Amino acid sequence: TQLLEQSPQFLSIQEGENLTVYCNSSSVFSSLQWYRQEPGEGPVLLVTVVTGGEVKKLKRLTFQFGDARKDSSLHITAAQPGDTGLYLCAGEGGKLIFGQGTELSVKP
């Protein structure tokens, strides 16, 4: 069974701080996706990483796919209150396997 361990599960920080969310697995995925979800809404795709070692940037968000395509990280620089939400990683291995999610709260 493919599993994705996401950490931390909860994160509360002050505006302006940096943070990193990790997504780890013992399985290899053909691609890995990061989503952000607001309460009462469906997840919204932020990025898809496909190649081992790939790094993608989306404004203040930096996504990295591990060389072995088993792990990924999301780094947010200078977090803002608008970044508050549930961040989910999901690995593609025939079907989407979701991590447990990271509930991020950025306080002004």
Nearest distance from residue 78's CB to other proteins, in Å?
26
Q: Which is nearer to other proteins, 4 or 76 (CB)?
A: 4
| Alpha-carbon span 96 to 5, nearest angstrom | 14
Smallest distance, other proteins to C-beta of residue 62, A: 21
d(C-alpha 75, C-alpha 62), whole Å: 5
Our CB check for other proteins shows the closer of 66 and 99 to be 99
Is the CB of 1 or the CB of 59 nearer to other proteins?
1
Answer yes or no: are the C-beta atoms of 28 and 69 closer than 8 Å. yes
101: left (phi over 0), alpha (psi -120 to 50) or beta: left
Nearer to other proteins, 84 or 100 (CB): 100
**At closest approach, how far in Å is the CB of 38 from other proteins?**
10
Least separation in angstroms between CB 9 and other proteins:
9
Copy the structure tokens of residue 50: 């496909």
* Measured CA distances, 101 to 17, 23, 67, 95, 97 (Å): 20, 9, 22, 17, 12
Write out the residues near other proteins by the rule CB under 8 A.
6, 31, 35, 40-45, 48, 86, 88, 90, 92, 95-96, 98-101, 103
